[in-house]
Amino acid sequence: MRAAVQRLLLGGLAGKLLGLLREVLLAAAYGTGAPAVANRVAQSATLVPVDLLTADVLTAGFLPLHARLRGADPARAAALFHGLRRALWALAAVLTGGLLVAAPAVVDLLAPGLGAGTAATATAFVRVGALGVPSYLQFALLSCLEVSHGSFRLSSLRASGQNAGALAALGLAWWLGEPLVLAGGFALSYLLLHAWAEVALRRLLGAVGVVRARQGAQRA
């Protein structure tokens, strides 16, 4: 447990430092211009509804229930995970489709009074950022699944991965002279984090299965 706490603390600290560096470099590159405003609007448009709908479901609902069922009834624990996973894919489809279609209205709601040019830039940013919602939700679920199995690697590296992706996108946007690349930082970060989580969880669950098989053989 001590190692897990240290990993979470260090991961959180690294994420905050990278986030601070991101904000400093974003301000240096774009100041308070349209790309900086659009980037913040897009972050709010994608993260606020996702977290509002799923944060308690995952941390206060799925995680403790799955941890309890995992030992008492593994089949029900697996059914709970796969059922919630399907529900999150469906939710992601609704949210992503809604943001793609209604991006102008979302921008008007979150940042009323923007000039036409800035609003158009923010609309484009929201649509690109929306593409990261499915992977964001799946990564959050897989992180909770990993915690249920007593590992915290995904949770500890989430903020660092997100901010590292944002920094890479910022550098590429500045180099190419195309601010819209900034919006791709969120989507690409979680696409890569999601892919990594899938591989990491397969290895973890495979190792757990081997341990259980050995324990069963020893009991027999």
Residues 131-147 have pLDDT tens digits of 999 999 999 999 999 99
Residue 166 is which amino acid?
A: A
* DSSP secondary structure code for residue 33 in this structure: S
Express as a percent the part of the chain with pLDDT over 90.
Answer: 35
DSSP structure string for 48-117 = HHHHHHHHHIIIIIIHHHHHHHHHH-HHHHHHHHHHHHHHHHHHHHHHHHHHHHHHHHHHHHHSTT--HH
Looking at residue 134, its pLDDT comes to: 95
Give the pLDDT confidence score for residue 12 in this predicted structure: 64
- Has residue 212 got a pLDDT over 60? no
Question: What pLDDT, on a 0 to 100 scale, did the predictor assign at position 208?
Answer: 47
pLDDT above 60: residue 179: yes
Phi, psi of 178 (to 5 degrees): -125, 95
- Dist. CA 145–CA 180, nearest whole Å: 34
Q: Looking at the predicted structure, is the pLDDT value of residue 218 above 50?
A: no
pLDDT value for 108: 92
Residue with the larger pLDDT of the pair 45 and 22:
45
* Residue 210 scores a pLDDT above 70: no
Q: Which of 163, 154, 158 is nearest to 185 (CA)?
A: 163
Contact 79, 66 (CB under 8 A): no
Q: Model's pTM, two decimal places?
A: 0.85
Query: What does the alpha-carbon distance between residue 25 and residue 182 come to, in Å, rounded to a whole number?
Result: 12
Q: Give the model's pLDDT for residue 2.
A: 57
pLDDT for res 132: 93
161 confidence band (pLDDT: 50, 70, 90): confident
Rg of the chain in Å (alpha carbons): 20
Residues 54 and 91 sit within 8 Å (Cβ to Cβ): yes
Query: Is 90 exceeded by the pLDDT of residue 85?
Result: yes
